Amino acid sequence: MLFVLFSILTVGAYGSFNILPVVPFPQEAEMFSTNRRSLNVEEFRITTDQGHLLEDKVISSTINRYQHYFSRFKPGPLSPDGDITQVSLSVVYPEASLFIGVNESYTLNIDPHSPIVKLSANTRFGVIRGLETFYQLYNITDGTFPSVKIRDYPRFAYRGFLIDTSRHFLPVESIEMVITGLAMAKFNVLHWHIVDDPSFPYYSPSFPSLSEKGAYDSNHVYRIFDVLRVISFAENHGIVVVPEFDTPGHTLSWGKGLENFLTYCPGQGTFGGDYGPINPSVDSNYEVLHKLLAEVTSLFPGGFVHLGGDEVPFKCWQSNQDLVAWMKQQGIQTFNDLESYYEEKLLDIVHQLNTSYVVWEEIFNNGLHIQPDTIIHVWKGKWEDTMGKVIKAGYKTILSSPWYLNYISFSMDWKKYYQVEPYKIPGATPEELSLVIGGEACMWGEFVDATNILSRTFPRASAVAERLWSSEKQTNIGDMEFRLNKHRCGMCARDIPAETILLRSYCPVEFDGYDW
């Protein structure tokens, strides 16, 4: 094989050269030539010299997926330099398991002459990222690839997306479609806000009454089988599932299945009901939490749990005279102190479980005693100030404030998401900034369920994904618009109803994924 480099054109970060329609844009890309390679659809195989790799569940499911996607395309015209027939994989550390921060780097080499494309990755998860880049480089219309060498890795370790299955239930299939779209944008964390006030759809073997009483009905429950299916599907896409059990507020649905768990406060509850947050004075509540969190942390393999802690209303606690009397007895002066009392007991439990955790920013803002490896999840306004304080205090942090994708608007709001820079924190030192480990787009469930979550999420979330994966110099809006449009068409061709971002446009393969 001849490796003649016609010329090396630098594309990449400065985005002046619109030939690589990849989102998120790779860290480094070199064009070998302007000649394009065609895909030999019929002979095409993804292979490896490391035979044992094929026995791996993540690798084999990934290979199957991409072979299936390419098998749906029609053969393109013959390339003058011969067709591509293979992608050959190699992995340096095949045994690495999935965690937030696992090495996702890869190099992808589409040589101008060889029929074999080389994809080398540090771990199996880099293979997933590299094959997605390979898919996106394919031009559906003419069936060709550019001749290019890509070296790629994420800028941030935490690139999350929140789904909320309490306000509206999402069938497992719908969650799988979301994960498929997230993987196309190289997200690596699915934050599963699984329970909240409206419903408790998680089936707990330790406390079956929680979903029996707290779910909308028996059809709106995630059983162990369903949870494992989501976790496994996500792992095959290089995505860690972080479950959230938000307490002590946002727990109304828990109260239906557990006696004496919530604070009784007639007419003073969160929604003017008879119950409010968890009652911190009841010792058995901490036993419940311990047992439940032990179960959850052993079920979800990601090593992280999200403990919530946001928006705790005090009105209910205040109105319960027994609780107020108990506080006096304990020497707890304020309701803020009461919240701290609860949280410190909760955090002790989680420390005992040897699990890391993410918490909403209130836990930090209220000055609670937290473990050094805690991630503070910033979601309120003035995020630069809050994150500045968090990193000065030495904690890791992730950003969501500007990325509440459940808020929708008529026009192209992806630009607004794209223009956010998580490092724009006044006065922060480079060392402090290294504690900004990423961000998360949130799709809260007030008006979202299986009918619209895909079109509302994609490709808007991909603008956030690029901010979190690509170089911080990758900021050209026009360049991104061009790539994002191609990216959404690639999603449509893969049966994800990703909506248009242009006033007038079409896709070579339109979305055609209804069972109609």
Residues annotated catalytic, as ranges: 311
Q: Coil, helix or strand for 508?
A: coil
Provide the minimum distance between the beta carbon of 253 and a second copy in the complex, in angstroms, as a whole number.
10
Please identify which residue in 449, 471, 476, 477 interacts with a second copy, judged by CB under 8 A.
Answer: 449
Q: Would you count residue 452 as binding a second copy (CB under 8 A)?
A: yes
Q: Cβ(207)–Cβ(292) under 8 Å?
A: yes
Q: What are phi and psi of 31, to 5 degrees?
A: -85, 130
Mask 373-412, x = binds a second copy (CB under 8 A)? ---------------------------------xxxxxx-
Cβ contacts of residue 140 below 8 Å, gap of 6+? 73, 489, 490, 493, 508, 509
Measured from the CB atom, the residue of 158 and 418 that comes closer to a second copy is 418
217 binds a second copy (CB under 8 A): yes
CA pair distance 387, 437, nearest whole angstrom: 11
Cα distance between residue 483 and residue 500, in whole Å: 12
Q: Does 328 bind a second copy (CB under 8 A)?
A: no
**Is residue 24 reached through a cis peptide bond, with omega within 30 degrees of 0 on the bond before it?**
yes
Q: Is 451 in the site for a second copy (CB under 8 A)?
A: yes
Select 86 or 500, whichever has its Cβ closest to a second copy: 500
Choose one: 1-9, 92-100, 195-203, 336-344; the region binding a second copy (CB under 8 A): 195-203
Q: How far is the CB of 284 from a second copy (least distance, A)?
A: 28
Cβ(166)–Cβ(200) below 8 Å: yes
**Applying CB under 8 A, does 172 fall inside the site for a second copy?**
no
Please name which of 108, 124, 131, 106 lies closest in space to residue 46, comparing C-alpha atoms: 131
Does residue 497 touch a second copy according to CB under 8 A?
yes
Least distance CB 406 / a second copy (angstroms): 7
Question: Is 510 among the residues that bind a second copy (CB under 8 A)?
Answer: yes
Cβ 100 to a second copy shortest distance, Å = 28
Q: Is 177 in the site for a second copy (CB under 8 A)?
A: yes
324 in contact with a second copy (CB under 8 A): no
Q: Which of 19, 140, 450, 477 binds a second copy (CB under 8 A)?
A: 450
Tokens standing for residue 212: 């029996």
Are the C-beta atoms of residues 254 and 214 closer than 8 Å to each other?
yes
| 443, two tokens | 């799709």
Instruction: Using CB under 8 A, pick the residue from 455, 471, 475, 476 that binds a second copy.
Output: 455
- Which of these ranges, 73-81, 283-291, 379-387, 492-500, lies near a second copy under the rule CB under 8 A? 492-500
Q: Is the sign of the CA dihedral 374, 375, 381, 383 positive or negative?
A: positive
Q: Taking contact as CB under 8 A, which single stretch among the options 4-12, 165-173, 297-305, 354-362 is the one that binds a second copy?
A: 165-173
27/180 with CB nearer a second copy? 180
Please check whether residue 245 is in contact with residue 195, taking contact to mean a CB–CB distance below 8 angstroms: yes
Q: Which is nearer to a second copy, 147 or 180 (CB)?
A: 180
The yes or no reply on residue 167 touching a second copy (CB under 8 A) is yes
Stretch of residues binding a second copy (CB under 8 A), selected from 26-34, 114-122, 173-181, 307-315: 173-181
Least Cα distance to 252 among 187, 316, 340 occurs for: 316
In angstroms, what is the minimal distance from the CB of 250 to a second copy? 12
Supply φ then ψ for residue 97, to 5 degrees: -95, 170
Contact status: 498 vs a second copy (CB under 8 A): yes
Q: How near is the Cβ of 459 to a second copy at its closest, in Å?
A: 10
Using the rule CB under 8 A, give the single segment among 69-77, 142-150, 451-459, 466-474 that binds a second copy. 451-459
| Span 429-448, contacts to a second copy by CB under 8 A | 446-448
CA nearest to 211, candidates 227, 222, 226:
222
The set of residues, in sequence order, having a beta carbon less than 8 Å from that of 52 and lying 6+ positions away, is 94
User: How big is the chain, counted in residues?
Assistant: 516
| Among candidate residues 258, 140, 147, 248, the one with its CA nearest the CA of residue 208 | 258
Kindly state whether residue 173 participates in binding a second copy, applying the rule CB under 8 A.
Answer: yes
Amino acid making up residue 253: S
* Interaction of residue 499 with a second copy, rule CB under 8 A: yes
376 sits in which H/E element: strand 375-378
Q: What angle do CA 40, 43, 45 make, to 5 degrees?
A: 100
x/- letters, 219..248, toward a second copy (CB under 8 A): xx----------------------------
Nearest alpha-carbon partner for 474 in 253, 214, 154: 154
Residues near a second copy (CB under 8 A): 166-169, 171, 173-174, 176-177, 197-199, 216-217, 219-220, 406-411, 446-452, 454-455, 492, 495, 497-501, 503-506, 508, 510-516
